[in-house]
Amino acid sequence: MTVADQRPLVEIERMDLFWTSFCSRLESKIGERDMDAWVRPGLELSALLPRLDDPRRVVFRSLSPWHHDWIAENLLADIGAVCNDVLGRTVSVELLGNGTTTPTVGTPTSRSRAPSVDRSLVFENFVVGKCNEFAHAAAIAVAENPAAAYNPLFIYGGTGLGKTHLSHAIGNRVEQLHPHLAVCHIGAQQFFEEMVRAIQNKANLDFQERFRTEVDVLILDDIQFIEARQRTEEELFHIFEAMQQNGKQIVIISDEPPRNLGKLAPRLRTRFEQGLLVDLQPPDVETMMAILGRKAQAMRLDIPSDVQYTIAQRVRSSVRELEGVLKRLSALHAFYRQPITLAFLHERMSDLIPPPAPPPSPERIIQRVAEHYSLRPTEILGNRRPANIAWPRQVAMYLTRRITGLSFPEIGRAFSRDNSTVQYACNKVEEGADRDANLRAEIELLERLCRAPAA
């Protein structure tokens, strides 16, 4: 909430308390989606009059014409009911438009508009890796030169990979660099619902005209939701054609590439394919660690690098899933008041990060090394010392020490050797691997083979 004028501190505190309770109860009434799309980015509390303990008017201010029209038409009744509930009495609700003093009092306006963008989703906090660098570059090109670089821009990828973040970042950058351009960021489901209302009110021509004349950059999210909705596809096609002919930018967001949208009208699908198609792939471990580190920093969580690596390896498919893991980890950390370590992770989040599997036995390591060198385990355990057996035997001792952490005497008993022989073998293999990159690669391969679970 922002408070435009200067008010006494006590009144500001009271308004903050009211706003917090109001948002919580309104979200439970209208749902998270409408709260995130309309209320949080588009509405602020302007006044509680005449005073908190005996209010008669609650005054809100919308932050853009887009928000004003939609909130006035769709949410005023719910807003009034929640205000009555929070304050425990019947009040009047007024909605002022951005920069205006003429209120809308408990009645809807004649038409609704699409939402603007989420101000928190910008290019500066989008983590770039190999999985998304091309999509990121294309999005910046479109934002900096709308309708000049790639039009339409079609961004697709799985859930939770950053499509929505990029789409909002485009809108924010356009508004920053080209404030004269009107940006409309709208979900396909929202587009469908608005179109239905327009048809019911016999205002479908106004609906088309609004997008054609009042929108310079149209960002349409979740396009797959309009598949097989023939009338919606028809309206979108005409809007698409008109905007392109008038040199206006279109950005389409989808879970799938156009070729996989089999129920989409062919003429729409071909229009989408005429533009630039960019995809978002699941992040690699390094990118996921970078994302995790940035989000952990924002949450003021101290997460060591080994814990970050473990989580990044486990949570690879979705940034949203990663956010859920971090929220849960933060709550557990606050409740138990223990530092975040691998042991804490394995103990408190074992369903997500199971405890590490026990290391393979010396017998298992001997078996894998023998197979690699085309020997029998009995030859490694025997007393013969030709080079083709002695070296694999030493490698097996070294890997047993490295993987299991057993002491030299314990390894000696497993190989029927004294501990000095085991120590000599481990030192020889380690020194050889330090000098020879090829040998080091071979040892690393063998270690992975030994650690792999049995088939």
Token pair for 185: 């960021």
368: confidence class by pLDDT, cuts 50, 70, 90: very high
pTM beyond cutoff 0.75: no
Helix (H) or strand (E) holding 253: strand 249-254
pLDDT value for 103? 47
The percentage of residues in the chain with a pLDDT greater than 70, rounded to a whole number, is 89
Range 285-348 classified under CATH 1.10.3210: no
454: confidence class by pLDDT, cuts 50, 70, 90: low
Phi-psi region of 374 (alpha: psi -120 to 50; beta: other; left: phi over 0): left
Does residue 142 carry a pLDDT above 90?
yes
Token pair for 174: 């356009």
The whole-number average pLDDT for the span 166-177 is 91
Q: In 97-236, at which residue ranges do the beta strands (DSSP E only) sit? A: 103-105, 153-157, 183-187, 217-221
Task: Tell me the C-alpha distance between 266 and 250, whole Å.
Answer: 18
Q: Is 222 helix (H, G, I), strand (E, B) or coil?
A: coil
55: confidence class by pLDDT, cuts 50, 70, 90: low
Task: Tell me the C-alpha distance between 364 and 191, whole Å.
Answer: 61
CB-based contact 284:130 (threshold 8 Å): yes
Task: Tell me the C-alpha distance between 381 and 111, whole Å.
Answer: 84
As annotated, the residues of the chain forming the CATH 3.40.50.300 domain(s) are: 123-280
Does residue 7 carry a pLDDT above 70?
no
Token pair for 344: 């804490």
Phi-psi region of 160 (alpha: psi -120 to 50; beta: other; left: phi over 0): left
Q: Mind spelling out the 3-state secondary structure of 305-371?
A: HHHHHHHHHHCCCCHHHHHHHHHHHHHHHHHHCCCCCHHHHHHHCCCCCCCCCCCCCHHHHHHHHHH
Q: What's CA 381's distance to the chain center, in Å?
A: 53
CB-based contact 131:287 (threshold 8 Å): yes
Buried/exposed code over 194-208 (b: 16+ C-beta within 10 A; e: otherwise) = bbebbeeeeebeebb
Burial of 309 (0-12, 13-18, 19+ CB in 10 A): middle
pLDDT value for 13? 58
As annotated, the residues of the chain forming the CATH 1.10.8 domain(s) are: 285-348
pLDDT in tens, 91-118: 888 888 754 444 454 433 333 334 477 7
Amino acid present at 263: K
What kind of fold does domain 9-105 have according to CATH?
GMP Synthetase; Chain A, domain 3 (3.30.300)
CB-based contact 245:213 (threshold 8 Å): no
pLDDT in tens, 373-395: 999 999 999 988 888 999 999 99
As annotated, the residues of the chain forming the CATH 3.30.300.180 domain(s) are: 9-105
pLDDT value for 193? 81
What kind of fold does domain 123-280 have according to CATH?
Rossmann fold (3.40.50)
pLDDT value for 300? 84
CB-based contact 188:225 (threshold 8 Å): yes
pLDDT value for 6? 45
Does residue 20 carry a pLDDT above 70?
yes
Token pair for 5: 């004028």
Which CATH number applies to 362-451: 1.10.1740.10, 3.90.1150.10, 3.30.930.10, 1.10.1750.10?
A: 1.10.1750.10
pLDDT value for 81? 87
As annotated, the residues of the chain forming the CATH 1.10.1750.10 domain(s) are: 362-451
pLDDT value for 316? 67
How many angstroms separate the Cα of 260 from the Cα of each of 75, 138, 207, 269, 348?
Answer: 36, 22, 29, 10, 41
| Residue found under tokens 């609704």 | 112
pLDDT in tens, 215-265: 899 999 988 888 777 888 888 888 888 898 899 999 999 988 888 887 888
* Sheet order of strands, 217-221 included: 183-187, 217-221, 249-254, 153-157, 276-280
Task: Tell me the C-alpha distance between 59 and 47, whole Å.
Answer: 5
pLDDT value for 235? 83
